[in-house]
Amino acid sequence: MESKISSQPETTKADFADHFLCALMISDKHRKIIFTNSYFQKELGWDDSRLLGNDINILFTGASQIFCDSYLFPITSVEGRCEETQITLIKGNGERLPAVVYIRSAPDQEDLLYWTIVPSINRDKLYEELITNRERLEAQAETLNSLATTDELTGVNNRRELMRLSESLVEQAIRGSREVALLFIDIDYFKVINDSHGHPYGDRILKQLGKILSESGRSSDIVGRYGGEEFIIVMPDASRDAARSYAHRIHELAGSINLDQQHLTVSIGVSQTQANKKTPLNLLVKCADEALYRAKAAGRNCTIFFDEKRNDRPRQINHV
């Protein structure tokens, strides 16, 4: 293509350059503009009389001028070219316009620089759209993650997420020889509540209890709905006394939920790791579930630790 152009008159070369959908320019070693295509006039509002023979800085903002002096010209001098660099142009009417420039020096005329300037009129708009789309995708991902990890009714961790987080916590506790307490909580007579008042009423009770459990504990505690009317709380670095005290607190808070003329009660079974003994999560759950069963058998509305003596009536019961 270059050989065909070189064999044609200079006016034809200029006409050819006018067909490009970008600004083409040639500057000399003194940084004077010696050639521009018609894009400057048609799209950028510059007449040849205002450009030809003038310093190229007339086209750039102050910041872009500094950038040209500190980066564009030095790298072009060393490498003979500079590609895809962002600057800010000044249009003939004084408006600013973001653009991308490509520069190269001619092999046979090193004192000349050939410029290709591509205005990025929609660059900021596209960038804003990308940011908006990214934020929307992040929000959607967060929503999907919430649906995958949160119990939709109560707002606490669902069973899968509860077990995943708890297993990691228990493994860390075992490695660090730290105590972990697991509280298995069950609403007393929940079937009676549903049968007497309907499932929407029962759902409201579950929501209230879920809110109480998630807000009353420590930030390090893991709270989740295990299934139905059952909840589990895993307490890291919790002594036996701390677990018992918190269980008592749960009894009190559950009692603040009104059931017509009565108050809600819960039964709680507690299991606990020992510093010198490895107790996996599934065993902790099983032990707490057994302690919960004993609390139910003992008359409900109480807390039983798994290692408490199994008599017909357990000796240590925290009644509210």
CA angle 137, 141, 147 (to 5 degrees): 145
Give the per-residue pLDDT at 305: 96
pLDDT confidence of residue 320: 34
Q: Token pair of 287, please?
A: 């032990």
Residue 50: which of 8, 86, 94, 18 has the closest Cα?
94
Q: Amino acid letter at 306?
A: F
Query: Do 114 and 129 fall within a single domain?
Result: no
Q: What is the pLDDT of residues 243-291, one digit of tens each?
A: 999 999 999 999 999 887 788 999 999 999 876 678 889 999 999 999 9
Torsion of the alpha carbons at 159, 163, 166 and 168, rounded to the nearest 10: -140
Contact status, residue 213 vs residue 156, Cβ threshold 8 Å: yes
Q: How far is CA 240 from CA 76, 236, 275, in A?
A: 73, 11, 12
Please tell me whether residues 142 and 156 are part of one structural domain.
no
pTM over 0.75: no
In terms of domains, do 187 and 297 share one? yes
pLDDT above 70 covers a percentage of the chain that reads 88
By DSSP bridging, strand 96-106 and strand 81-90 are antiparallel
Catalytic residue status for 229: yes
Is the same domain home to 214 and 283? Answer: yes
The verdict on 86 and 62 lying in the same domain is yes
Provide the domain limits for residue 138: 122-151
Per-residue confidence (pLDDT) for residue 1, from 0 to 100: 41
- The pLDDT mean for the chain works out to 86
d(CA 48, CA 43): 13
When pLDDT is averaged across residues 284-309 and rounded to a whole number, the result is 92
Say if residue 117 is in the same domain as residue 133: no
CA angle (287, 290, 294) in 5-degree steps: 140
Q: How confident is the model at residue 186 (pLDDT cuts 50, 70, 90)?
A: very high
Residues 270 and 156 in one domain: yes
Are residues 71 and 202 located together in one domain of the fold?
no
Number of domains in the chain: 3
Type of residue at 179: E
The 10s digit of each residue's pLDDT in 77-98 is 889 899 888 889 999 999 998 8
Helix 199-216 / helix 190-197 crossing angle, nearest 10 deg: 140
Q: Is residue 317 part of a domain?
A: no
Is residue 82 classed as helix, strand or coil in its secondary structure?
strand
Torsion of Cα atoms, 275 then 280 then 285 then 291, to 10°: -40
Predicted pLDDT at 36: 93
Q: What is the CATH number of the domain that holds 32?
A: 3.30.450.20
Catalytic residue among 129, 229, 290, 308: 229
In-domain check, residue 315 = no
Query: What's the confidence (pLDDT) of residue 129?
Result: 74
Kindly state the average pLDDT of the residues 25-39. 93
pLDDT digits (tens, 9 = 90+) for 198-221: 999 999 999 999 999 999 989 999
Taking residue 158's Cβ as centre, other Cβ atoms within 10 Å add up to 20
pLDDT tens digit string along 118-172?
A: 888 766 666 677 777 887 878 777 777 767 889 989 999 999 999 999 999 998 8
What is residue 276's predicted lDDT score, i.e. its pLDDT? Answer: 67
Determine the angle formed by the axes of helices 123-149 and 159-175, rounding to 10 degrees: 80
Residues 54 and 166 in one domain: no
Note the pLDDT tens digit of each residue in 219-251.
Answer: 999 999 999 999 999 999 999 999 999 999 999
Residue 314 lies in a domain: no
Determine the number of helices (DSSP H) and then strands (DSSP E) in the chain: 12, 12
CATH number at residue 220: 3.30.70.270
Check whether residue 50 and residue 181 sit in a common domain. no
Q: At 116, which helix (H) or strand (E)?
A: strand 109-119
Token couple for 142: 């967060």
